[in-house]
Structure 1
Amino acid sequence: MTGRRQTGNRIRGPNSALTDFLAANNISAAQIRDDYERRRREAAGEPNPDDTNGDAQVPDEPTTAQASALHNNEEEEEVEEEEVEAESSRSSKRKRKANEAAAEAKKLAKIKKSKAFQRRKAARDADGGDSDSEYDDILAREMYKKTQPPPGQLDNCEICSKRFTVTSYSKTGPDGGLLCTPCGKELAAEEGSKKPKKQSQQKRKRKLESDRMEASHKSHGAKSLQQLCIEKVAQHHEDVEEFGELPEKVLERLGEIFSKQRVMTPRTLRLFLRSDLDAIAVHDAAYLETEDYNHMLASVPHIEKIVLRNACQFKDENIEYMLDKCKNVRFLHLYASNLVTDRVWKELFLRQGEKLEHLKLAWLDASFDDKVVDDMVQFCPNLVGLKLKLCRRFTAAAIDSIARLKKLQFLSLQTNADVDSECLINLIKSVGHGLQTLSLEHFLEADDDVLNIIHDQCRNLRKLRFSENDYCTDAAFTALFTDWANPPLRFADFNSTRDVDNSNPKGPEEPIGLASNGFRALMKHSGAGLEVLNLASCRHITNKAFWDVFCEGNFYPKLKKIDISFCNTVDTMIVAGIFKSCPKLDRLISFGNFSIEDVVVPRGIVLIGVPKAQDAIEQVGTAVGDDVGGFMDSLGAMGSMVGAAA
């Protein structure tokens, strides 16, 4: 290769100490040799070969005397060279010792300033030792003996005395020595457990938002002792060997926190398995394997209720094992168990169908088609609760099959299939009279006739969800709640029932979805018993309708949670009126309502999503007692202005 530098294949090895010394002091070996030759020639009377006068002649062959003199001169030359080398060696040693002494003094001064030296000195003083500077030097020299060697050198571990190669990442031991890699990791783990890392502000805020969004936890106020203990157990789950005889509710709460923190593993699962339990709930089973489900079923032989979410490794063999070992299962709740085939679903309904009372299935993509639903209806006549959400292989024919379940009390359906209104009307005619819960999500083809049949057939509903629809009119919602023989609802969810037309954001002249009149009729019918109200994205409800419901001296004694997100007409006065008319309110969600600002949040209430709160999405009330009445005076003044403007 022509581009490579020609080095002549020279091999260079390490230099001697003398060579390094001469080079460091700018002394040339050639100069020493020339000076010696010059002195020798002067002593022997020989001419200088460098003389340029041309008179010098080449001497004849040396005589015996001359040869003897030459031999003696060579011996003197060797002795002189040895003396020069010895002198140079002594000089380098003196300098090296001086450098080492200076480095040692510098190192000792640094050691005396270190925290380790101060701790050992304080411990010696506490034991009654002398505090003289001489003893400080002795202590510093002891610590200096354990100074770290440079990387690449071998050293003995301070703890286990094992020989190892020093690197720039080697840890320092308690007494100043170095540690091998295993001992360094153990020491770092111990120090990490003693000094937990501080959470960054972003992580703390994220944790706060996560707790706040959790429905079962109130973020305002101090946590209970039980809650703190549960969170501490979840934090140190690797050190827990067993839970003991914990109450079932506490055990369930622990399971929820373990699932939320993604620490429900095959090892931690065993902490929740007891033979005396009749229910087990794993809300995040993503880390569990097929064998873990069999172990779970074997450990709880008398199980009656099974809740497994994200059960992606729950397979046919687990269902078959459950049918052989657990014959009392009445409640089965499975999310994402896509590895169970249609054949095994049919076998489950055939062998366990008589005892099965509640069935909840969600996110099934590869199985559970219309034929399986028909088998379920045929072999499970005692089903009381049925929930099928996003099971992609069943269609309107499955809805017709479900209509034959005469004992249903709780029905929740969500599908992306095209289901016409006639199919839903037939379903509600058949089972509506006994329903306490009716949830219909994402039925885009449902029209006003569906709401009319709910009004005519349903007499016992406590929970009604009819969401994600842009077909039913406000007039139909108004008719549903007008003179309805059903008792007041406890749970009402009508989110995303609105007209969707970007070219006409205000909607048509005849409102689509739950609008002003329907909202008034709903609160007039169910306001006395309503506990949860979801109006998210019902954007056709006017400001006047909100004012009529919440600000005109109305009182809703049981309402605890309200979601009015993306109802753009909501403003500060409406929010203040909600606080006044709902004494038991603890959570108000209001994302996307940009007219809300400068809200005084009463004690015990959490306001979520107000865009003017720049420092936090959540505002926790700190007002004491009846301070709500204080800002209601100004609210009354604003109300009179609104009335005058109207």
Structure 2
Amino acid sequence: MGGDRSGRRARGAGIRGPHSALTDFLAANNISAQEIRDSYQQRVRQAEDEVAQAADNGEGPSNAGEGGEEIEEEQAESSAMAAERTRKRKRNQDEAIAKIKKGKAAKKTAQKKKKKGSDDDSDFEDMMDMYKKAKPLPGQLENCESCNKRFTVTPYSKAGPEGGLLCTPCGKEMLKDAKAEAKASKPIVRKGRRKLESNRLDGMTAHGPKTLQQLCIEKLANHSEDIDELGEMPEGIMNRISEIFSKKRAMNSKTMKLFLQPDMDRVAIHEAAYLETDDYDQIFAVCPNVKEISLRNCCQFKDSNIDYMNEKARALSHIQLLGANLVSNDKWTELFIARGQDLKSFKVEWLDAAFDDQVVEALTTFCPNLERLKLERCKRIGPDSIDAIARLKHLQHLTLRFYDPITREKLIHLISSVGANLRTLCLEHFLDTTSDATDAVLETIHTTCRHLSKFRFTENNECTDAGFVNLFSNWPNPPLRYVDVNSTRDLDNTNPDGPEEMPIGLASDGFRALIAHSGAKLEFLDLSSCRHIEHEALAHVFDGVRQYPFLREINLSFCPVVDTEVVAGIFRSCPQIKKVVTFGCFLVADVVVPRGIVLIGAPRAQEQLEQYGDVVLDFQREALVEREEMKAMGRIVPVMG
């Protein structure tokens, strides 16, 4: 039993209650409260005993004097000890206060370093938590740190900069100041960058202030839901408003009515994705005399709309439907039967579910007077459609892009049949992977076509540079206005420079022949990804002396030899140039862009995809003066290479 009690006593002796801040402070400085209490009580008892003993003995003055001297000595010694302890306690307090202040300064320094990105941890945070004053609980009264006003603490009371609490008005003011500082510290973001890039992709590269007409059109687009009618406007402005509405995805069932007038003969909706099936019927109900219809992304255009169009739009002769995947093959055939001899233009694109070779056969059978035909990305048409198109003897504009491979013989037969009357020839992505490189298609174009003004021949790895030289050399066709030969190159990734003895695609000699034939009238030139054109050829053509007075836009993207010299030569040789595209041309460094010209895609343009010219160079000034003098004499004779 005794052992159990001793064990329990030993275990219980280690139990300690909560400590106050004063107890922790005294323990940290080796000051014992019990020792102070015992010493004080001993001195009190000793003094009481001495006084009582002196009274009992009745000692005289001498003894009383001796006892008094001893008591005075003891009291003096006790006072000295008390004074020493007081000084020690004050010294310890001063050291503790200094340590607290030092900890606060270290904490502020650590916070500043943390804001600057420093990873150093503060060693004083744990120590500072010991001396923090407990925050008042909600419902208690507290003085505001800022205005010293008495207020009731709530869970939403803000903390002040010195650790106190703030009243509601001061808290709101501090929050407002913090937001203002955060807003001022944020980096300035160029809000118009996305808009500029969007306009660049749309081909809008105008620099400087907007015209009043453009501002009015944009204001209309921003408040499209509040417009009741547009009134009578010129067709060009109406079409421009429609383009902006389409771009902003504001063309819907309500806003579409703004562009429909009973006397209109042309309706163009550039983004019809938000229109419903009934909206298409309304177009032909309001505009029964329409002759030309252009609907892009008309994903809800169905068979019922074909029936209604055949019934109401009797004068329709030009049809463009992009993305009309819900129209069946039978309805396409019924449309061609209804239009018959009157259909002059037909354009479709992005058709997956229907529109096969039999539909193309019906088109060429019932609509033999077609002058403009565009079939792009229609998955169900193949080589049989080429033979059907070859029977259209009145074609003037032909654009084809097939998914399936088309043999060389099919293309030669097509060009030989319809090429004599063509003004536009666009053949995209025609590859015959079963045969070797040959220039028979280009030879047929050279022999047959005599009236082309626009020529697009892209994504081809069969024709050689010699074939392009033969095409443009001694070609009786007038100079071309629009040329697009992008991605005509060798596709062997293991040999990016192509074969040395016979370059594939448009190379240096073919480029010189192209410029010699069409440079005098050329307005648009796309040489993107024609990687086999050498730097010498580009520098020779655009040397600043030879002039190309009508060239307004050129694309040299992903031609690795294009550098600053070539771009500067284009600025000198093309007085009417407005847009130069150089994506992937990493040799183009800092170029001084003349006024009125936009350079797009220069990789070293200080993180800008486009550079607008704002200076007039000396050669431009001289060219303008010379041009005005020649105009005054009634003649302008460009110097051609």
Q: For 2:193, which of 179, 197, 205 is the aligned residue? A: 205
Aligned to 1:622: 614
Letter in 2 for 1:457: T
Task: Name the CA distance, whole Å, in 2 between partners of 1:614 and 1:625.
Answer: 22
Letter in 2 for 1:512: I
Task: Name the CA distance, whole Å, in 2 between partners of 1:401 and 1:219.
Answer: 44
SS of corresponding position for 2:592: coil
Aligned to 2:64: none
Letter in 2 for 1:222: P
* Change in CA separation of 1:377 and 1:612 when aligned onto 2, cut-off 3 Å: same
Aligned to 2:107: none
Task: Name the CA distance, whole Å, in 2 between partners of 1:356 and 1:326.
Answer: 12
Aligned to 1:549: 541
The yes-or-no answer on 1:502 pairing with 2:493 is yes
Whether the 8 Å CA contact 1:432–1:454 is kept in 2: the answer is yes
| Residue 277 of structure 1, CA deviation | 1.0
Task: Name the CA distance, whole Å, in 2 between partners of 1:374 and 1:426.
Answer: 17
**When the two structures are superposed, what TM-score results if normalisation uses the length of structure 2?**
0.67
* Change in CA separation of 1:564 and 1:235 when aligned onto 2, cut-off 3 Å: same
Whether the 8 Å CA contact 1:496–1:538 is kept in 2: the answer is yes
* Change in CA separation of 1:443 and 1:106 when aligned onto 2, cut-off 3 Å: farther
Task: Name the CA distance, whole Å, in 2 between partners of 1:304 and 1:323.
Answer: 12
The yes-or-no answer on 1:524 pairing with 2:516 is yes
Whether the 8 Å CA contact 1:602–1:627 is kept in 2: the answer is no
Residue correspondence of structure 1 range 304-343 to structure 2 within 5 A: 304-343=291-330
Letter in 2 for 1:208: L
Letter in 1 for 2:193: K
| Residue 353 of structure 1, CA deviation | 2.1
Aligned to 2:368: 381
After superposition, give the CA deviation of every residue in 1:536-583 in whole Å (9 maximum; x if it has no partner): 000000000001111162110100000000010011001000000000
Aligned to 2:459: 468
After superposition, give the CA deviation of every residue in 1:78-129 in whole Å (9 maximum; x if it has no partner): xxxxxxxxxxxxxxxxxx9999xxx9x8799xxxxxxxxxxxxxxxxxxxxx
| Residue 344 of structure 1, CA deviation | 0.5
Task: Name the CA distance, whole Å, in 2 between partners of 1:521 and 1:294.
Answer: 52
| Residue 220 of structure 1, CA deviation | 1.2
Residue correspondence of structure 1 range 69-218 to structure 2 within 5 A: 201=189, 203-215=191-203, 217-218=204-205
| Residue 219 of structure 1, CA deviation | 2.9
| Residue 608 of structure 1, CA deviation | 0.2
* Change in CA separation of 1:98 and 1:337 when aligned onto 2, cut-off 3 Å: closer
Q: For 2:590, which of 598, 601, 612 is the aligned residue? A: 598
Whether the 8 Å CA contact 1:386–1:410 is kept in 2: the answer is yes
Aligned to 1:134: none
* Change in CA separation of 1:447 and 1:294 when aligned onto 2, cut-off 3 Å: farther
Aligned to 2:507: 515
Letter in 2 for 1:472: C
Whether the 8 Å CA contact 1:383–1:408 is kept in 2: the answer is yes
SS of corresponding position for 1:201: coil
Whether the 8 Å CA contact 1:399–1:423 is kept in 2: the answer is yes
Letter in 2 for 1:204: G
Residue correspondence of structure 1 range 259-338 to structure 2 within 5 A: 259-338=246-325
Aligned to 1:77: none
Whether the 8 Å CA contact 1:212–1:219 is kept in 2: the answer is no
Aligned to 2:222: 235
Whether the 8 Å CA contact 2:267–2:293 is kept in 1: the answer is yes
Task: Name the CA distance, whole Å, in 2 between partners of 1:449 and 1:416.
Answer: 21
Letter in 2 for 1:594: F
Aligned to 1:539: 531
Letter in 1 for 2:198: S
After superposition, give the CA deviation of every residue in 1:378-419 in whole Å (9 maximum; x if it has no partner): 000110000000111110110110000000000000011110
Aligned to 1:562: 554
Q: For 1:456, which of 443, 447, 452 is the aligned residue? A: 447
Deviates further, 535-544 or 240-249: 240-249
Q: For 2:565, which of 559, 562, 573 is the aligned residue? A: 573
Cα RMSD of the aligned pairs, angstroms, is 2.7
Aligned to 1:481: 472
Whether the 8 Å CA contact 2:217–2:241 is kept in 1: the answer is yes
* Change in CA separation of 1:106 and 1:271 when aligned onto 2, cut-off 3 Å: farther
Aligned to 1:641: none
| Residue 295 of structure 1, CA deviation | 1.1
Task: Name the CA distance, whole Å, in 1 between partners of 2:294 and 2:381.
Answer: 22
Aligned to 2:101: none
| Residue 204 of structure 1, CA deviation | 2.0
The yes-or-no answer on 1:364 pairing with 2:351 is yes
Task: Name the CA distance, whole Å, in 1 between partners of 2:581 and 2:484.
Answer: 14
**When the two structures are superposed, what TM-score results if normalisation uses the length of structure 1?**
0.67
Aligned to 1:415: 402
* Change in CA separation of 1:257 and 1:443 when aligned onto 2, cut-off 3 Å: same
* Change in CA separation of 1:371 and 1:200 when aligned onto 2, cut-off 3 Å: farther
| Residue 614 of structure 1, CA deviation | 2.1
SS of corresponding position for 2:254: helix
Whether the 8 Å CA contact 2:272–2:295 is kept in 1: the answer is yes
Aligned to 2:428: 441
Letter in 2 for 1:571: D
Letter in 2 for 1:313: Q
After superposition, give the CA deviation of every residue in 1:263-291 in whole Å (9 maximum; x if it has no partner): 11111111111111111111111111101
| Residue 221 of structure 1, CA deviation | 2.0
SS of corresponding position for 1:354: helix
Task: Name the CA distance, whole Å, in 1 between partners of 2:467 and 2:141.
Answer: 101
Letter in 2 for 1:542: E
The yes-or-no answer on 1:223 pairing with 2:210 is yes
Task: Name the CA distance, whole Å, in 1 between partners of 2:447 and 2:455.
Answer: 15
Letter in 2 for 1:214: D
Task: Name the CA distance, whole Å, in 2 between partners of 1:396 and 1:237.
Answer: 46
Whether the 8 Å CA contact 1:421–1:447 is kept in 2: the answer is no
Whether the 8 Å CA contact 2:141–2:150 is kept in 1: the answer is no
SS of corresponding position for 1:464: strand
The yes-or-no answer on 1:406 pairing with 2:393 is yes
Task: Name the CA distance, whole Å, in 2 between partners of 1:107 and 1:349.
Answer: 85
Residue correspondence of structure 1 range 46-65 to structure 2 within 5 A: none
Aligned to 1:154: none
Aligned to 2:47: none
Aligned to 1:346: 333
Task: Name the CA distance, whole Å, in 1 between partners of 2:617 and 2:210.
Answer: 21
SS of corresponding position for 2:505: coil
After superposition, give the CA deviation of every residue in 1:422-455 in whole Å (9 maximum; x if it has no partner): 0010001110000000000000128410000000
* Change in CA separation of 1:469 and 1:199 when aligned onto 2, cut-off 3 Å: farther
Aligned to 2:22: none
| Residue 200 of structure 1, CA deviation | 8.1
* Change in CA separation of 1:447 and 1:200 when aligned onto 2, cut-off 3 Å: farther
Task: Name the CA distance, whole Å, in 1 between partners of 2:201 and 2:247.
Answer: 12
Letter in 2 for 1:585: I
Runs of 5+ in structure 2 lacking a partner? 1-138, 153-167, 170-185, 623-641
SS of corresponding position for 1:219: coil
Residue correspondence of structure 1 range 33-52 to structure 2 within 5 A: none
Letter in 1 for 2:200: R
The yes-or-no answer on 1:585 pairing with 2:587 is no
Whether the 8 Å CA contact 1:498–1:514 is kept in 2: the answer is yes
* Change in CA separation of 1:624 and 1:292 when aligned onto 2, cut-off 3 Å: same
Task: Name the CA distance, whole Å, in 2 between partners of 1:383 and 1:473.
Answer: 33
Whether the 8 Å CA contact 1:607–1:620 is kept in 2: the answer is yes
How many percent of aligned residue pairs carry the same amino acid? 53
Whether the 8 Å CA contact 2:528–2:556 is kept in 1: the answer is yes
